[in-house]
Structure 1
Amino acid sequence: MPQKIILDCDPGHDDAIALMLAHGNPDVELVAVTTVGGNAVLEKTTKNALGVLTIAGITGVPIAAGCAHPLMRQGEDADVHGESGLDGVVLPEPAMELDPRHGVDLIVDTIMEAEPKTITLVPTGPLTNIAMAMRKEPQIIDRVKEVVLMGGGVHVGNWSAVAEFNIKIDPEAAAMVFDAPWEVTMCGLDVTHQALATDEVAERIKALDTPLSEFVLGLFGFFRHAYHNAQGFEFPPVHDPVAVARVIDPSIVGTVRAPIVVETRGDYTLGMTVTELRPAHIPADCHTQAAMTLDADRFWDLVIDAIARLGKDSSNG
Structure 2
Amino acid sequence: MSKTGKVFIRLAVAAAAVPVLFAVSLALPIPAWRTGRLPVPPLPVVENGPRIKAPDRVWVDTDAACGVERRADPDDCFALMLLARAPDIEIVGVSTVFGNAKLEMTDRTTRRLASKLREAGTRLPAVHRGAGAPSASSTPAQDALRRALADRPLTLVALGPLTNIAAALEGRPDLQANVVRIVAVMGRRPGHIFHPSEGNGEGMLFGHGPIFRDLNFDKDRKAATRVLSMGLPLSLIPYDVAREVSLKRFDLDQIARSGMAGAWIASRAQGWLEFWKEEIGRDGFHPFDLLAAAYVLDPYLFNCAAANAWVGKDEHLSNVWFYDPVALQVGGTKKHPADPLAETEAIYCVTANAALRDRLMDGLAGMDRQASTD
Please, what TM-score do these two structures have when normalized by structure 2? 0.66
Match of 1:247 in 2: 296
Q: Deviations over 1:103-146 (max 9, x none)?
A: 111111101111xxx31000000111111112153322221100
Task: Please state whether the residue corresponding to 1:275 is helix, strand or coil.
Answer: strand
- 1:124-139 alignment to 2 at 5 Å? 124-135=159-170, 137-139=172-174
Return the alpha-carbon distance in structure 2 between the equivalents of residues 129 and 295 of structure 1: 32
Return the alpha-carbon distance in structure 1 between the equivalents of residues 131 and 235 of structure 2: 23
1:142 to 152, 158, 177: 177
The yes-or-no answer on 1:292 pairing with 2:350 is yes
Amino acid in structure 1 at the alignment position of 2:231: P
Match of 2:133 in 1: 69
Return the alpha-carbon distance in structure 2 between the equivalents of residues 135 and 158 of structure 1: 35
2:100 to 39, 58, 62: 39
Residue pair 1:33, 1:62 contacting (<8 A) in 2 also: yes
Is the alpha carbon distance of 1:68 and 1:213 closer, same or farther for their aligned partners in structure 2, counting shifts above 3 Å? closer
Shift of 1:302: 3.5
Mean Cα deviation higher: 151-160 or 240-249: 151-160
Structure number with greater Rg is 2
Is the alpha carbon distance of 1:141 and 1:158 closer, same or farther for their aligned partners in structure 2, counting shifts above 3 Å? farther
Q: Deviations over 1:212-241 (max 9, x none)?
A: 332232133122113344544431111112
What is the alpha-carbon root mean square deviation over aligned residues?
A: 3.1
Match of 1:75 in 2: none
Shift of 1:271: 4.7
Mean Cα deviation higher: 179-188 or 211-220: 211-220
Return the alpha-carbon distance in structure 1 between the equivalents of residues 275 and 173 of structure 2: 40
- Identity within the alignment, %: 23
Task: Please state whether the residue corresponding to 2:61 is helix, strand or coil.
Answer: strand
- 1:87-102 alignment to 2 at 5 Å? 102=140
Amino acid in structure 1 at the alignment position of 2:286: P
Residue pair 1:175, 1:264 contacting (<8 A) in 2 also: no
Task: Please state whether the residue corresponding to 1:263 is helix, strand or coil.
Answer: strand
Is the alpha carbon distance of 1:297 and 1:220 closer, same or farther for their aligned partners in structure 2, counting shifts above 3 Å? farther
Return the alpha-carbon distance in structure 2 between the equivalents of residues 210 and 275 of structure 1: 39
Amino acid in structure 2 at the alignment position of 1:133: A
- 1:1-317 alignment to 2 at 5 Å? 3-12=56-65, 13-57=74-118, 58=122, 60-71=124-135, 102-114=140-152, 118-135=153-170, 137-154=172-189, 155-157=192-194, 163-206=213-256, 208=257, 210-229=259-278, 231-263=280-312, 268-277=323-332, 280-281=334-335, 287-295=345-353, 297-308=355-366
Return the alpha-carbon distance in structure 2 between the equivalents of residues 44 and 162 of structure 1: 21
Is the alpha carbon distance of 1:70 and 1:293 closer, same or farther for their aligned partners in structure 2, counting shifts above 3 Å? same
Task: Please state whether the residue corresponding to 2:170 is helix, strand or coil.
Answer: helix
Task: Please state whether the residue corresponding to 1:182 is helix, strand or coil.
Answer: coil
Return the alpha-carbon distance in structure 2 between the equivalents of residues 19 and 173 of structure 1: 22
Return the alpha-carbon distance in structure 1 between the equivalents of residues 195 and 233 of structure 2: 25
Return the alpha-carbon distance in structure 1 between the equivalents of residues 367 and 186 of structure 2: 28
Residue pair 1:227, 1:233 contacting (<8 A) in 2 also: yes
- Count of residues in Structure 1 that have an aligned counterpart in Structure 2: 277
Return the alpha-carbon distance in structure 1 between the equivalents of residues 213 and 124 of structure 2: 36
Shift of 1:272: 1.7
Residue pair 1:36, 1:66 contacting (<8 A) in 2 also: yes
Amino acid in structure 2 at the alignment position of 1:275: V
Task: Please state whether the residue corresponding to 1:259 is helix, strand or coil.
Answer: strand
Q: Which structure 2 residue ranges, 5 or more long, are not aligned?
A: 1-53, 66-73, 197-209, 337-343, 369-374
Return the alpha-carbon distance in structure 1 between the equivalents of residues 95 and 270 of structure 2: 26
Return the alpha-carbon distance in structure 2 between the equivalents of residues 156 and 252 of structure 1: 25
Residue pair 1:7, 1:124 contacting (<8 A) in 2 also: yes
Return the alpha-carbon distance in structure 2 between the equivalents of residues 69 and 296 of structure 1: 38
Is the alpha carbon distance of 1:296 and 1:223 closer, same or farther for their aligned partners in structure 2, counting shifts above 3 Å? farther
Is the alpha carbon distance of 1:167 and 1:46 closer, same or farther for their aligned partners in structure 2, counting shifts above 3 Å? same
Return the alpha-carbon distance in structure 2 between the equivalents of residues 5 and 158 of structure 1: 32
Q: Deviations over 1:224-281 (max 9, x none)?
A: 113344544431111112111111111112211111112379784355222113x643
Return the alpha-carbon distance in structure 1 between the equivalents of residues 361 and 82 of structure 2: 6
Amino acid in structure 1 at the alignment position of 2:104: E
Shift of 1:182: 1.1
Return the alpha-carbon distance in structure 1 between the equivalents of residues 236 and 250 of structure 2: 27
Shift of 1:67: 0.7
Please, what TM-score do these two structures have when normalized by structure 1? 0.77
Task: Please state whether the residue corresponding to 2:269 is helix, strand or coil.
Answer: helix
Return the alpha-carbon distance in structure 2 between the equivalents of residues 158 and 125 of structure 1: 20
Task: Please state whether the residue corresponding to 1:11 is helix, strand or coil.
Answer: coil
